[in-house]
C-alpha cells in the first residue's frame, strides 16, 4: 500500500485567523481604491461625431482619440494626467466617456460648445 500524504488539520482558531486576514486584506484594498477616486465624480457620455472630419461611423479611432487629446490639452495637465479624471474615446458610438467632477463636466461642455461654434458658418 502506497504511503498516504499527511493531512493538514486546522483548528477553529487557525481558520478564524485566516478568515480575518483575508477580510482585512480585502478591506484594505477597498480603502486604497476609494482613496484614489474623486469625490462627487461621475461618468458622462458626450457625442463628438460632429467634430470629426468624416462625420460618419467609419471614423477611425485615431480621429476620435485626437478629439480626446485636444480636450485634455485644453485644460491644465494636472486635471487629467494623475489618473483620477479620464477621457475614453469610443469609436463605434463616436463618443467620449468622461469621468470627472461636476465642475470638470462643466469645462468639458464649454469646450465642446466652443468647438462646435467654430465649425458653424457665421451669419452675416
Looking at residue 93, its pLDDT comes to 87
Instruction: Provide, rounded to the nearest whole percent, the portion of the chain with pLDDT above 70.
Output: 56
Q: Give yes or no for residue 15 having a pLDDT over 50.
A: yes
| Angstrom distances, CA of residue 72 to CA of 104, 106, 111, 124 | 11, 14, 10, 33
Closest by CA position to 84, among listed 42, 120, 46: 42
Residues 85 and 79: beta-carbon distance below 8 Å: yes
| Rounded Cα–Cα distance for residues 88 and 65 (Å) | 8
| Rounded Cα–Cα distance for residues 104 and 39 (Å) | 12
3-state secondary structure 79-106: HCCCCCCEEEEECCCCEEEEEECHHHHH
Cell numbers that stand for 116 in this block: 462646435
pTM: 0.62
CATH class of the structural domain 42-119: alpha beta
Domains of the chain, residue spans = 42-119
Looking at residue 72, its pLDDT comes to 85
Residues 75 and 117: beta-carbon distance below 8 Å: no
pLDDT digits (tens, 9 = 90+) for 95-123: 999 988 888 898 899 999 999 998 876 54
Identify the band that residue 73 occupies on the pLDDT scale cut at 50, 70 and 90.
confident
Question: Across residues 45-60, what is the average pLDDT?
Answer: 79
Amino acid at each position: 500500500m502506497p504511503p498516504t500524504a499527511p493531512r493538514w488539520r486546522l483548528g477553529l482558531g487557525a481558520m478564524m485567523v485566516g478568515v480575518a486576514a483575508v477580510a482585512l486584506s480585502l478591506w484594505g484594498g477597498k480603502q486604497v481604491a476609494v482613496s484614489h477616486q474623486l469625490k462627487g465624480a461621475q461618468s458622462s457620455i458626450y457625442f463628438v461625431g460632429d467634430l470629426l472630419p468624416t462625420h460618419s461611423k467609419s471614423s477611425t479611432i485615431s480621429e476620435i482619440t485626437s478629439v480626446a487629446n485636444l480636450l485634455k490639452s485644453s485644460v491644465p495637465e494636472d486635471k487629467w494626467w494623475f489618473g483620477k479624471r479620464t477621457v475614453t474615446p469610443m469609436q463605434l458610438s463616436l463618443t467620449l466617456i468622461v469621468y470627472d467632477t461636476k465642475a470638470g463636466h462643466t469645462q468639458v461642455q464649454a469646450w465642446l460648445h466652443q468647438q462646435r461654434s467654430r465649425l458653424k458658418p457665421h451669419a452675416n
